[in-house]
Amino acid sequence: MKRLILILGLLMSLNACANGPRPPKLPYPAWNVGLAAPKHMEVWVESVDVLDQRQFGYFNVHSGVASYTGEVRGWHKGGGKTMPIHNVDLPEKIYLRWQSLVEPQAYTIGIQIPQWVRDEMVKPHTVYCRWDRKVVTLYRKTLSLGMAPGGIVKVWVGTGCLEHLEVGRFQAKVHPLGPYQGKSNGKHVPLEPENKAYIEKHGVPYGSW
Domain locations in the chain as residue ranges: 2-201
Report how far Cα 80 is from the mean position of its chain's Cα atoms: 9
According to the model, what pLDDT value does residue 41 have? 98
Mean pLDDT of the residues in the chain = 91
Q: What is the dihedral of CA 9, 153, 173, 40, to 10 degrees?
A: 120
32-50 per-position pLDDT tens digit: 999 999 999 999 999 999 9
Residue 121 has a CB neighbour count (10 Å cut-off) of 23
134-192 per-position pLDDT tens digit: 899 999 999 999 999 999 999 999 998 899 999 999 999 999 999 999 999 999 999 99
In this structure, what DSSP letter does residue 53 have? T
The pTM for the full model equals 0.87
CA atoms within 13 A on the CB side of 204: 17
According to the model, what pLDDT value does residue 21 have? 59
2-14 per-position pLDDT tens digit: 554 444 454 444 4
Residue 164 has a CB neighbour count (10 Å cut-off) of 21
Average pLDDT over residues 104-115: 98
β partners of residue 125: 138
Average pLDDT over residues 105-128: 97
Average pLDDT over residues 60-70: 95
According to the model, what pLDDT value does residue 16 have? 43
Average pLDDT over residues 92-99: 98
